[in-house]
């Protein structure tokens, strides 16, 4: 007889299948699997996580506003996914290397991004909005799932060099349908590469629900590749921190890759070019609003007597400062000369690049004098 496997529900009941430490109302519950990984987290660290999420949400709302005002070409909102991004990113060591998709604003924030870094790429000024070497974060990846292969390749280099590093890659539930992600998992498992796969299951791959992407929990795929996995409540920042510490410890110890599925929800559009009201129900959105990751941690801290109205107001003020700096940086950006697109493509110049530069220079010159 075939085993009975519970299919994914594309409702909030989906969360009941995930590991958690904080319930939606902020109550802490015992979790023998995760608790050992966050025994050291005190109220001050919880407040820091709360502050991170509040600032991230403010950065995100400012990005949307800038795009709507014509200052950015596009923006990929992450509202609702703050706990997944902050919780996992705060567990990553400084010398680890991250390979994100296009929605990981919170990850680059946690890695030390500066205000202009959030908008430079979306404004079309640079191929990478931040300095990859400084943050140890690869440029945001638009091609769905491609970054998973990059992460595994980097992890294979770590293994060959015997370095004390882990590669981390982020992707969405929709990307799990891409061949790149599955190929990356095959290579990672076959060569025991020190890489952590983080799937942010936000329930919608553009306009397709996760129930179309997978009939069963996405974390259940990884063991088929020989990769241990965990399904975690992605709106519980403490659980995300703990799960990521487990995954990183596994990969760093030489045991090979690990896989996390963080079950969360995209509250806004896929990007600012999308209208989610065309494909999802308002009652679904309202149900997930009651599981807001920031409100959950705030409720927990207030129950502990570790968060006051004054502290919340100060955190919001700090978030507003970051948003103002981000806007000022955006508006002050000056577009580089057209031929600068060839700068930094190769470490050393060569004839092919020079030929292309010349051809493009002639093309640009053809517009001179036009109104």
266 as an active site residue: the answer is yes
Residue carrying the six token digits 């979306």: 122
CA angle 154, 216, 201 (to 5 degrees): 50
Instruction: In whole angstroms, give the CA distance from residue 303 to residue 81.
Output: 23
270 is catalytic: yes
Number of Cβ within a 10 Å radius of residue 280 = 15
- 122-145 as b/e: b if 16+ CB within 10 A: bbeebeebbeeeebbbbbbbeebb
Q: Yes or no: say if 309 and 286 are a contact pair by the CB < 8 Å rule.
A: no
Q: What is the maximum alpha-carbon separation in the chain?
A: 77
| Beta-bridge partners for 259 | 197, 229
Which of 49, 158, 179, 154 is closest to 100 using CA atoms? 154
Q: Specify the 3-state DSSP secondary structure of 337.
A: coil
Distance between CA atoms of residues 91 and 136, nearest Å = 14
Which residue from 231, 244, 228 is spatially nearest to 16, judged by alpha carbons? Answer: 231
Of 20, 50, 130, 270, which is the active-site residue? Answer: 270
Q: Is 203 left (phi over 0), alpha (psi -120 to 50) or beta?
A: left
Active-site pick, 266, 291, 296, 327: 266
**Annotated catalytic residue: which of 279, 346, 355, 363?**
279
Distance CA 42, CA 214 (A): 37
Catalytic residue set:
266, 270, 279
């Amino acid at each position: 007889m075939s085993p009975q496997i519970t299919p994914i529900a594309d409702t909030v009941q989906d969360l009941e299948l995930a590991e958690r430490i904080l319930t939606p109302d902020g109550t802490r519950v015992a979790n023998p699997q995760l608790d050992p990984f966050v025994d050291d987290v005190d109220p001050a660290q919880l407040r820091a996580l709360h502050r991170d999420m509040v600032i991230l949400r403010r950065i995100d709302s400012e990005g949307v506003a800038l795009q709507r005002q014509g200052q950015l070409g596009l923006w990929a909102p992450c509202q609702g996914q703050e706990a997944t991004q902050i919780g996992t990113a705060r567990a990553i060591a400084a010398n680890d290397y991250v390979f994100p998709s296009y929605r990981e604003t919170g990850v680059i924030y946690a890695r030390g991004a500066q205000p202009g870094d959030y908008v430079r790429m979306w404004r079309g000024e640079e191929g990478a909005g931040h300095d990859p070497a400084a943050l140890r974060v690869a440029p945001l990846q638009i091609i769905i799932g491609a970054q998973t292969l990059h992460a595994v390749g980097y992890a294979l280099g770590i293994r060959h060099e015997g370095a004390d590093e882990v590669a981390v890659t982020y992707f969405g539930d929709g990307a799990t349908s891409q061949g790149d992600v599955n190929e990356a998992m095959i290579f990672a498992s076959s060569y025991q590469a020190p890489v952590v796969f983080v799937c942010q299951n936000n329930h919608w791959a553009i306009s397709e629900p996760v129930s179309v992407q997978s009939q069963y929990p996405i974390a259940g795929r990884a063991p088929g590749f020989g990769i241990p996995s965990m399904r975690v409540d992605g709106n519980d920042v403490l659980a995300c921190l703990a799960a990521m510490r487990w995954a990183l410890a596994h990969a760093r110890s030489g045991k090979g890759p690990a896989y996390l599925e963080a079950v969360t929800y995209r509250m806004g559009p896929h990007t600012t070019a999308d209208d989610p009201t065309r494909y999802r129900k308002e009652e679904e959105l309202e149900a997930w609003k009651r599981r807001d990751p920031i409100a959950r941690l705030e409720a927990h801290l207030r129950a502990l007597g570790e968060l006051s109205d004054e502290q919340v107001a100060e955190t919001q003020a700090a978030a507003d400062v970051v948003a103002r700096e981000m806007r000022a940086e955006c508006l002050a950006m000056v577009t580089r000369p057209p031929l600068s697109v060839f700068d930094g493509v190769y470490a050393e110049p060569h004839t092919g690049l020079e030929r292309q530069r010349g051809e493009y220079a002639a093309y640009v010159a053809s517009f001179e004098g036009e109104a």
